[in-house]
Structure 1
Amino acid sequence: MRLILAVLPLLLAGCSSWKPDAEYIKPIPEDRLLGYQQVQQWGGQIEVTRDFGGMGSGCYVAVLVDRQLAARIGVGEQASFQVPVGTRVLGIGIDPLDDTLCGKGRLRRELAVKVEDGSRQQFRIISQNRGGFDILAVEP
């Protein structure tokens, strides 16, 4: 019984994600990049990386730009999106193209992102054992 009580916190901590080292990040394959890939005449770039972690690791997370499906991102993957200037809504959600158990849950997190001409902003998709998935800005 003591062994179970000692190991349980370690198992729960293992559900939280961690930021991958740069050499382990892979680009999302082109067949899962679904929008915002054309350079905008007046626009900026939004870059999204999904952390490593056990929670939901077998599932894709939908990356949404202005509430439109832009990509299906896996663990340790990264994508860049070319977006017009102005305030964009960057979000994550359940992958609507997934008809497995992964696509049956609920997930919606959104951020308002102010995009200026020529800007480049970075974001991380994290998973936490208590809070589930979230998307956060990466501080420069």
Structure 2
Amino acid sequence: MKLFVGALAVALLAGCATSPIPSDKADPVPASRLYAFSGKSEAQLLVTRDSGLYGSGCNYRLYIDGTLAAEFASGEVARFGVKAGKHVLGVKPSAACGGWGLVEREVDAKNGETIRRRITLSGDSFDISPTAI
């Protein structure tokens, strides 16, 4: 019985975070949820939302320089064209999930560069952070 309770506790804790997914294994964000920056430009921004059951019922919106660029479901990826220079990326839950909070991070895009970022959820927080995958 103790083993069962311990295994259940570990399973529940593991369900409170998402897992990184390689961009080549993620599903593309459908065109109906891509709103801006879809063309080619001087630099590319590759954004992947982690997979996992935690938070999978809510989509997360990505903003680039204050403009809504896309809405991500769990395990999705999208590519955006941006000009070289500094940009502010913002992430927040969709309006259907309360739309509370906004996390913003700055990126500095160089000509010809691909910047990789991932949308993560853990506990009661979310973020957009660098990733190598």
In structure 1, the partner of 2:53 is: 54
Q: Does 1:26 align with 2:27?
A: yes
Q: Quote the sequence identity (%).
A: 33
Work out the CA distance in 1 between the residues paired with 2:118 and 2:24: 16
1:135 aligns with 2:121: no
1:4 positional shift: 4.5
Where in structure 2 are there 5+ consecutive unaligned residues? Answer: none
Shift of 1:21: 4.6
TM-score normalised by the chain length of structure 1: 0.83
Residues 89-108 of structure 1 correspond to what in structure 2 (within 5 A)? 89-95=88-94, 98=95, 100=96, 102=97, 104-108=98-102
| Alpha-carbon distance between aligned partners in 1 of 2:54 and 2:119, rounded to the nearest angstrom | 12
**Inter-partner Cα distance in structure 2 for 1:78 and 1:9:** 29
Deviation at 1:62, TM superposition (A): 0.1
Query: Could you tell me how far apart the structure 2 residues matched to 1:89 and 1:23 are?
Result: 25
Between the aligned partners of 1:139 and 1:28, the Cα distance in structure 2 is 20
Match runs of 1:66-81 below 5 Å: 66-81=65-80
Alpha-carbon separation, structure 1, partners of 2:102 and 2:81: 22
Give the AA of the match of 1:109.
V
Contact (CA 8 Å) 1:49, 1:125: kept in 2 or not?
Answer: yes
- Contact preservation (8 Å) 1:25, 1:77: yes
Equivalent residues, number: 132
Q: How does 1:106-125 map to 2 (within 5 A)?
A: 106-125=100-119
RMSD over aligned CA atoms reads: 2.1
* Cα distance in 2 for residues equivalent to 1:94 and 1:7: 29
